[in-house]
Structure 1
Amino acid sequence: MPLPPDIRHGGNKACYSPMLDYVKLPTPEAFESSEDYYSTTFHEMIHSTGHASRVGRKGILEPSYFGSHEYSKEELVAEMGAAFLCGYAGIEQRTIGNSAAYIAGWLKALKNDKTLLIHAAAQAQHASDYILNRKRGEGEQIDEPIA
Structure 2
Amino acid sequence: VLLHEMTHSTGHPSALARELDTRFGSPSYAEEELVAELGSLFLSADLGIQSTDLEGEFYENHVSYLQSWMNALENDPSYLFKAASKADHADTFIMERYEEELGKNIEIDAPELEEEVSLAGESHDMASTSEHQPESEMPENVLSTVL
TM bucket (normalised to shorter chain) is 0.5 to 0.7
> Whole-Å Cα distance in 2 between the matches of residues 87 and 98 of structure 1?
16
- Indicate the structure with greater strand content: 1
> Taking structure 2 as the reference length, what is the TM-score of the superposition?
0.59
Secondary structure (helix, strand or coil) at the match of 1:133 reads helix
List per-residue Cα deviations over 1:62-93 (Å, max 9, x = no partner): x4311111111100100000010111122333
> Whole-Å Cα distance in 2 between the matches of residues 85 and 75 of structure 1?
15
Select the residue among 61, 83, 86 that pairs with 2:44: 86
List gaps (5 residues or longer) in structure 1: 1-39, 135-147
> Whole-Å Cα distance in 1 between the matches of residues 88 and 82 of structure 2?
10
Structure exhibiting the larger radius of gyration computed from Cα positions: 2
- Indicate the structure with greater helix content: 2
> Whole-Å Cα distance in 2 between the matches of residues 46 and 81 of structure 1?
6
1:125 aligned onto 2:83: no
Select the residue among 49, 67, 86 that pairs with 1:104: 67
Where does 1:1-147 land on structure 2 (aligned, <5 Å)? 40-59=1-20, 63-93=21-51, 95-133=58-96
1:83, 1:96 within 8 Å by CA — same for their partners in 2? no
- Post-superposition offset of 1:48: 0.2
* More off after superposition, 84-93 vs 98-107: 84-93
Once superposed, what is the RMSD of the aligned Cα atoms? 1.5
Secondary structure (helix, strand or coil) at the match of 1:66 reads coil
> Whole-Å Cα distance in 1 between the matches of residues 63 and 96 of structure 2?
26
> Taking structure 1 as the reference length, what is the TM-score of the superposition?
0.59
Matched residue pairs, number? 92
